[in-house]
Amino acid sequence: EVQLLESGGGLIQPGGSLRLSCAASGFTFSNYAMTWVRQAPGKGLDWVSSMSGSGGNIYYTDSVKGRFTTSRDNSKNTLFLQMTSLRAEDTAVYYCAKDRVAGSTSPDYFDLWGRGTMVTVSS
Protein backbone atom coordinates (compact mmCIF):
# COMPACT_ATOMS: atom_id res chain seq x y z
CA GLU A 1 0.00 0.00 0.00
CA VAL A 2 1.25 3.47 -0.90
CA GLN A 3 1.39 5.50 2.27
CA LEU A 4 3.23 8.00 4.43
CA LEU A 5 3.27 7.79 8.21
CA GLU A 6 4.53 10.65 10.34
CA SER A 7 5.66 10.34 13.92
CA GLY A 8 7.59 12.25 16.57
CA GLY A 9 5.19 15.03 17.44
CA GLY A 10 4.32 16.06 20.95
CA LEU A 11 4.28 18.82 23.53
CA ILE A 12 7.52 20.77 23.77
CA GLN A 13 8.54 23.92 25.60
CA PRO A 14 9.55 27.06 23.73
CA GLY A 15 13.20 26.88 22.77
CA GLY A 16 13.13 23.10 22.71
CA SER A 17 13.88 20.62 19.95
CA LEU A 18 11.95 17.83 18.29
CA ARG A 19 12.62 15.42 15.44
CA LEU A 20 9.82 14.34 13.17
CA SER A 21 9.94 11.26 10.97
CA CYS A 22 7.95 10.26 7.93
CA ALA A 23 8.06 6.59 6.93
CA ALA A 24 7.20 5.93 3.29
CA SER A 25 6.02 2.69 1.72
CA GLY A 26 4.62 1.43 -1.57
CA PHE A 27 6.76 3.52 -3.93
CA THR A 28 10.43 4.02 -4.80
CA PHE A 29 11.19 6.62 -2.15
CA SER A 30 14.54 7.75 -3.53
CA ASN A 31 12.95 8.73 -6.85
CA TYR A 32 10.81 11.46 -5.34
CA ALA A 33 11.31 14.79 -3.69
CA MET A 34 9.52 15.02 -0.37
CA THR A 35 7.99 17.97 1.40
CA TRP A 36 6.91 19.07 4.86
CA VAL A 37 3.72 21.13 5.10
CA ARG A 38 2.24 22.35 8.36
CA GLN A 39 -1.20 23.48 9.43
CA ALA A 40 -1.73 25.52 12.58
CA PRO A 41 -4.97 24.80 14.46
CA GLY A 42 -7.90 26.18 12.48
CA LYS A 43 -5.60 27.66 9.83
CA GLY A 44 -4.54 26.92 6.29
CA LEU A 45 -1.71 24.94 4.76
CA ASP A 46 1.82 26.34 5.08
CA TRP A 47 4.78 24.99 3.12
CA VAL A 48 7.82 24.33 5.35
CA SER A 49 10.54 22.53 3.40
CA SER A 50 11.24 20.33 0.40
CA MET A 51 14.09 17.97 -0.34
CA SER A 52 14.98 16.34 -3.64
CA GLY A 53 15.12 12.58 -3.99
CA SER A 54 18.89 12.47 -3.68
CA GLY A 55 18.92 14.93 -0.81
CA GLY A 56 21.13 17.28 -2.77
CA ASN A 57 18.59 20.09 -3.02
CA ILE A 58 16.83 21.45 0.05
CA TYR A 59 14.49 24.42 0.37
CA TYR A 60 13.00 26.11 3.42
CA THR A 61 10.45 28.75 4.13
CA ASP A 62 12.08 31.87 5.62
CA SER A 63 10.50 31.49 9.06
CA VAL A 64 12.28 28.17 9.73
CA LYS A 65 15.65 28.79 8.08
CA GLY A 66 18.45 28.22 10.57
CA ARG A 67 16.11 26.42 12.99
CA PHE A 68 14.75 23.44 11.02
CA THR A 69 16.77 20.86 9.09
CA THR A 70 15.28 18.42 6.60
CA SER A 71 17.08 15.18 5.85
CA ARG A 72 16.29 11.75 4.49
CA ASP A 73 17.56 8.19 4.68
CA ASN A 74 16.75 6.54 1.37
CA SER A 75 17.94 3.15 2.64
CA LYS A 76 15.18 3.32 5.26
CA ASN A 77 12.59 5.16 3.15
CA THR A 78 12.32 7.84 5.78
CA LEU A 79 12.18 11.63 5.76
CA PHE A 80 13.09 13.68 8.80
CA LEU A 81 12.51 17.17 10.11
CA GLN A 82 14.81 18.28 12.92
CA MET A 83 13.26 21.27 14.63
CA THR A 84 15.20 23.44 17.09
CA SER A 85 14.56 26.74 18.87
CA LEU A 86 10.86 26.01 18.68
CA ARG A 87 8.40 28.85 19.06
CA ALA A 88 4.70 29.00 19.89
CA GLU A 89 3.99 29.88 16.25
CA ASP A 90 5.46 26.53 15.17
CA THR A 91 2.48 24.80 16.79
CA ALA A 92 0.78 22.86 14.00
CA VAL A 93 0.03 19.51 12.48
CA TYR A 94 3.05 18.61 10.37
CA TYR A 95 2.35 16.63 7.21
CA CYS A 96 4.83 15.01 4.94
CA ALA A 97 3.88 14.89 1.29
CA LYS A 98 5.24 13.19 -1.80
CA ASP A 99 5.97 15.24 -4.89
CA ARG A 100 4.03 14.15 -7.93
CA VAL A 101 6.83 14.01 -10.50
CA ALA A 102 9.61 11.44 -10.22
CA GLY A 103 13.18 12.62 -10.54
CA SER A 104 12.37 16.31 -10.40
CA THR A 105 14.24 19.01 -8.51
CA SER A 106 11.78 21.68 -9.61
CA PRO A 107 8.94 23.03 -7.49
CA ASP A 108 6.12 20.54 -7.52
CA TYR A 109 2.71 19.60 -6.20
CA PHE A 110 1.76 16.67 -3.99
CA ASP A 111 -0.18 13.51 -4.77
CA LEU A 112 0.24 11.68 -1.47
CA TRP A 113 -0.03 13.04 2.05
CA GLY A 114 0.47 11.47 5.44
CA ARG A 115 -2.03 11.86 8.26
CA GLY A 116 0.21 14.28 10.08
CA THR A 117 1.75 14.57 13.52
CA MET A 118 0.84 17.31 15.98
CA VAL A 119 3.52 19.56 17.44
CA THR A 120 2.51 21.80 20.32
CA VAL A 121 4.98 24.40 21.56
CA SER A 122 3.88 25.67 24.93
CA SER A 123 5.18 26.19 28.44
Partner 1 sequence: EMVMTQSPATLSVSPGDRATLSCRASQTVNSNLAWYQQIVGQTPRLLIYGASTRATGIPARFSGSGSGTEFTLTISSLQSEDFAVYYCQQYNQWPLAFGGGTQVEIK
Interface residues with partner 1 (CB under 8 A) are 35, 37, 44-47, 50, 59-62, 95, 97, 100, 106-111, 113-116
CA angle 114, 105, 119 (to 5 degrees): 30
**Cβ 75 to partner 1 shortest distance, Å:** 26
* Shorter beta-carbon distance to partner 1: residue 42 or 123: 42
**Cβ 109 to partner 1 shortest distance, Å:** 4
Side-chain half-sphere of 22: how many Cα atoms within 13 Å? 30
* Shorter beta-carbon distance to partner 1: residue 86 or 97: 97
At a CB cut-off of 8 Å and minimum separation 6, what does 83 contact?
17, 18, 19, 20, 64, 67, 68, 90, 119
* Shorter beta-carbon distance to partner 1: residue 78 or 117: 117
